[in-house]
Chain A
């Protein structure tokens, strides 16, 4: 049973296209996140949702739009893809606000824009 699952694992697409990445967690966690990891492995938080409500929205282009239909799902839609969007995108989840708990990560979606 995969705790945090993302689809697809790989995504190759042309510039200008619109694509979505899906994330689901079966841990019963209240909070979900999207992170972007660049080629140097640097992790940058993009969005955080708590029980379907947006609580963190870092400075990302508005071409990126998260959607949370329920607290077990957090999808990421990207419009008008650009070369610089190529990266690995990770979904994560965590229990309610409590500093002792870590995040559980999905295995990532490698996005390549050509």
Chain B
């Protein structure tokens, strides 16, 4: 069945460091891929998405490219800020209504 695997955290970075959070997926067909962010005490918010191979999603300085050949959708940001501290979830949606979420990666950015 469909599934998402993302790197385990927690991840701690200094401000302005480069961020990569790895995400790989298993799916039949051609799923859409998403990154959600959950700030402390809040619900999940859609950060970015890509709906087909080689698409790049981007938002707030974050980027992720849909790589069909490596079944990956890694999240990157060139220079993180303290305000980026949150939990990040990779997810896929294939045919049908159900989302498949990764286990979440907690990011803490220290000044």
Also in contact, A103 and B99, with CB within 8 A (given A41-B104, A43-B104)? yes
Q: How many A-B residue pairs have CB under 8 A?
A: 60
Chain B contact-residue range equals 20 to 34
The residue of chain A having its C-beta at the shortest distance from the C-beta of B52 within the complex is: A100
B99 in contact with A41 (CB, 8 Å): no
- Asked whether, in the complex, the Cβ of A41 is within 8 Å of the Cβ of B32, the reply is no
Interface-side segment among A11-19, A69-77, A78-86, A104-112: A104-112
- Bound-state Cα–Cα, A103 to B36, Å: 10
CA gap between A102 and B97 in the complex, in Å: 10
**Does residue B42 face the partner (Cβ distance < 8 Å to A)?**
yes
Q: How many residues of A contact B (CB 8 A)?
A: 25
Q: Are B93 and A102 in contact (CB under 8 A)?
A: yes
Q: Which residues in B have their C-beta under 8 angstroms from that of A31?
A: 97
Could you say which of B18-26, B43-51, B59-67 contacts chain A?
B43-51
29 examples of A-B residue contacts, CB within 8 angstroms: A31-B97, A41-B38, A41-B103, A41-B106, A42-B103, A42-B104, A43-B104, A45-B98, A48-B97, A48-B98, A92-B44, A94-B97, A97-B95, A99-B30, A99-B32, A99-B93, A99-B95, A100-B32, A100-B51, A101-B93, A102-B32, A102-B49, A102-B91, A103-B44, A104-B46, A105-B36, A105-B45, A108-B42, A108-B43
Choose from A42, A56, A99 the contact partner of B51 (Cβ within 8 Å): A99
Known contacts A102-B34, A107-B42; decide if A43 and B101 are in contact (CB<8 Å). yes
A90 to B93, CA, bound (A): 18
Contacting residues, chain A, for B42 (C-beta < 8 A): 107-108
- Chain B residue nearest in CB terms to A90: B43
What residues of chain A lie closer than 8 Å to B73, measured between beta carbons?
Answer: none
